[in-house]
Amino acid sequence: MQKLFSIKNLFSSQEKKRLVSNFFSLSILQVANYLFPLITLPYLVRVLGPSQYGLVAFAQAFIGYFQILTNYGFNLSATREISINRENPEKVSEIFSSVITIQILLAILSFIMMALVVFSFAKFRDDWLLYFLTFGLVLGNVLFPVWFFQGIERMKYITLLNVLARFIFTIAIFVFIREESDYIYVPLINSVGLVLSGIIGLWIIFNRLGVKFIMPDVNSIKYHLNEGWHIFIGTVGISFYKNNSVLILGLFADSTIVGYFYISKKIIDILNQIAGLISQTFFPYINRLINQNYNLAIVYLKKIGLIIFLYTLVFGLLLLFLSPVIIKIISGHYYNESILSLKLMAFVPMFIGINVPAVHILLSKGFGKEFSNTVLIGAFLDLILNFSLVPFLSFLGSCISVIVVELFVTLYLYFKVLKLKSC
């Protein structure tokens, strides 16, 4: 019997050739996503120290909520719309124009909300410039429509522009960050790189890909808001239980403790990007295949799930047993808080990664509501755990919250999939 993933079968169609091209493009991107942070993270921790590094991390966690608001689930809903209509240039232009308009309006709303929070509370007001500069990440995300390039399956553009942004950020970090007081330049440098890549991305869309901006009407705006709603709600939930651990810890502990915890969480986040690579590569393809040949799509997803399980298991064991060495290499010190955090969260990438097949099934089959409900429950659970544990256990409470919530969400997503299958 011919194997599904034999070389001959893999290149038997233009569709699968595109998949391979996209995978390698995103693989290069993920290598860059690993390499550049691994270069800058040890330097930033050493130069800024855990306290100032923790302050920067707290600002990024806060602004992360506004990034989620402006993304509004378009990374999946708009990707799906572009993917389905990519052979219709006029429709593609209409989708692009509507979505980017919504994102700009949401960015304006986000800026107003951010300013109100910053100037209303002393904890934020004392470092207002840090938050305003970090807000540049929101602008950069809006300007760079990753969802569009994913939808037309031109991942090479995502790779080139993201690598450019990270390259600018990395070089600038070593040039301008020389002492603790330079922490204020970290979000500025990050924002400039992202905004620049976004501007280039828009130039490519309008001048190389022939997309035209068409002033959207009210019905088009409403349609895309409705399409992205359940995914947006789900993404808000995900954002809550991914950012809450840093944000709530920062409310009850000083920035030094936040820094210790964030060093470990940053390592975990970097590992989580591999699952993101696999998910982004296959989502447009699975989205079409699952409605054409459900059984074949499930075969693909099982193989994807197995690959994710195996590599996250290996990484988890390495983090568990080599955490002191890893923290020493990253920070230059044996920070006990960071070592313990890394040990506790060693298998979190596994919990997150193996839910990729379940998420694809739910979203591709139109069960976005079930997906969003699941992560919303996870978000509420995360809030309860963080506010219950962090005041008494500090960063240990943050670690426990991350572990319990990620495991719960993955198990509940598969429960939803099995329940739908039995109907």
Is 358 a member of any domain?
yes
Q: Which of the 8 DSSP states describes residue 209? A: S
Alpha-carbon distance of 168 to 355, in angstroms, equals: 33
Number of independent structural domains in the chain: 1
CA distance 193 to 251: 29
For residue 270, pLDDT over 90 is answered with no
Q: What is the pLDDT of residues 56-89, one digit of tens each?
A: 988 988 998 898 889 887 877 788 788 788 778 8
Please answer whether residues 243 and 64 qualify as being in contact, where contact means their C-beta atoms are separated by less than 8 angstroms.
yes
Residue 252 confidence (pLDDT) above 70: yes
Q: Would the pLDDT of 13 be above 70?
A: no
Q: What pLDDT shows up at residue 30?
A: 62
**How far, in Å, CA of 289 to CA of 294, rounded?**
7
Note the pLDDT of residue 82: 85
What are the phi and psi torsion angles at 72 (to 5°)?
50, 35
What local confidence, expressed as pLDDT, does residue 10 receive? 39
Say which range, 1-15, 43-57, 62-76, 270-284, has the weakest mean pLDDT: 1-15
More confident residue, 393 or 4: 393
Tell me the residue ranges of DSSP E strands in 73-225.
none
Indicate if the alpha-carbon torsion angle 16, 17, 22, 27 is positive or negative.
positive
Structural tokens at position 299: 């075969």
3-state secondary structure of 185: helix
- Cβ–Cβ < 8 Å for 341, 253: no
Decide if 1 is inside a domain.
no
In this predicted structure, the answer to whether residue 158 has a pLDDT above a threshold of 70 is yes
Q: Mean pLDDT in the chain?
A: 83
- According to the model, what pLDDT value does residue 390 have? 94
Q: Is the pLDDT of residue 153 over 80?
A: no
303 domain residue, yes or no: yes
82 occurs within a structural domain = yes
pLDDT for residue 19 is more than 70? no
Contact 342, 264 (CB under 8 A): yes
Q: What is the average pLDDT across 297-317?
A: 86
* Residue 255 pLDDT > 80: yes
Query: Are 158 and 26 in contact, with CB atoms under 8 Å apart?
Result: yes
C-alpha 84/C-alpha 81 separation (Å) is 5
| Three-state DSSP state, 192 | helix
State residue 317's pLDDT score: 95
Comparing 215 with 274, which gets the higher pLDDT?
215
In a domain, 244, yes or no: yes
Question: In the predicted model, is pLDDT for residue 323 greater than 90?
Answer: yes
The confidence score (pLDDT) of residue 219 equals: 86
Is 2 within a domain?
no
Question: Per-residue pLDDT for 233 more than 60?
Answer: yes
Give the rounded percent of residues in the chain with a pLDDT score beyond 70.
Answer: 86
Q: Which domain holds residue 366?
A: 7-422
pLDDT of residue 2: 44
At residue 280 the predicted structure's pLDDT band, cuts being 50, 70 and 90, is: low
- 138: in domain: yes
pLDDT on residue 5:
41
Pairwise pLDDT comparison (110 vs 147), residue with the higher score = 110
pLDDT at 169: 84
User: In this model, does residue 90 exceed pLDDT 80?
Assistant: yes
Average pLDDT over residues 301-327: 90
Mean pLDDT along residues 97-119: 94
**HEC per residue, 37-103:** HHHHHHHHHHHHHHHHHHHHHHHHHHHHHHHHHHHCCHHHHHHHHHHHHCCCHHHHHHHHHHHHHHH
Contacts of 45 (CB under 8 A, 6+ apart): 53, 259, 263, 330, 331, 332
Residues 110-123 have pLDDT tens digits of 999 999 999 998 88
**Residue 6: pLDDT over 50:** no
What is the DSSP annotation of 239-252?
HHHHHHHHHHHHHH
User: 7-11, 40-44, 396-400: which has the highest mean pLDDT?
Assistant: 396-400
Token pair recorded at residue 355 = 């839910």
Which amino acid is present at 178? R
> What DSSP element (H or E) covers 220?
helix 218-252
Average pLDDT over residues 238-253: 80
With vertex at residue 270, the alpha carbon angle to CA 60 and CA 313, rounded to the nearest 5 degrees, is 140
Phi and psi at residue 401, to the nearest 5°: -60, -45
Q: What percent of the chain shows pLDDT beyond 90? A: 27
**At residue 35, does pLDDT exceed 50?**
yes
Q: Which residue has the tokens 């099934």?
A: 361
Q: How many residues does the chain have?
A: 423
> Does residue 267 lie in a domain region?
yes
* Cα(74)–Cα(192) distance, integer angstroms: 23
The residue ranking higher by pLDDT, 150 or 19, is 150
Say what the pLDDT of residue 235 is.
67
In angstroms, the CA 160 to CA 201 distance is 10
CA distance 378 to 368: 15
